[in-house]
Amino acid sequence: MGFNFEVKLFALSRRSEGKGWGEIRRAIKERFNVDPPTVRSLQKWEKETDRGVLDHALKEKAKKEAEAIKRQALTSVAEDLLPRLWKARDAGDDIEYEGWRWFLSIVESTLGSEKFKRFLERYKTEGKGKPDVPPAAVVSTKDGS
């Protein structure tokens, strides 16, 4: 049985984190719901893998996925975000908050509530004791908008 690129990348990534082959096999079965490769196959992947080849493959995969994501994002902005912002403005609500609320709800629905909360808590904890980051400067376009 041939394994797709994502399974191989997942296995090699876990191995680079110092995980054992048995743990990696269990994780593959759990995550991808497939019978995992043998330890010998995993070892072969590790031996034959060239970082440059992996980097190139990842870049190509990202380029292909980026186009689909771009279309989805534009549709979502036009069909969901803009009406929310107009409604907030008309109601006298904070439109910046409404925009961020929309964005964060997308992230939460992608990650799931528990992981989202865990990541937010970790982010806030890592920032404790650091100076406040000022808001980014607004960049205007050529036409001045």
Contact between residue 91 and residue 77 where contact means Cβ atoms under 8 Å apart = no
Sign of CA dihedral 96, 101, 106, 112: positive
Nearest to 99 by CA among 91, 87, 112, 116: 87
* Distant-in-sequence contacts of 37-46, Cβ < 8 A, 24+ apart: 37/1, 37/3, 37/7, 37/11, 42/11, 42/15, 45/8, 45/11, 45/12, 46/12, 46/15
Q: Answer whether 0.75 is exceeded by the pTM.
A: no
- Summarised one tens digit per residue, pLDDT across range 8-49 is 888 888 888 889 999 999 999 999 999 999 999 999 888 887
Task: Look at 40 and 51; give whichever has higher pLDDT.
Answer: 40
Per residue in 118-130, pLDDT (tens digit) is 999 999 998 888 8
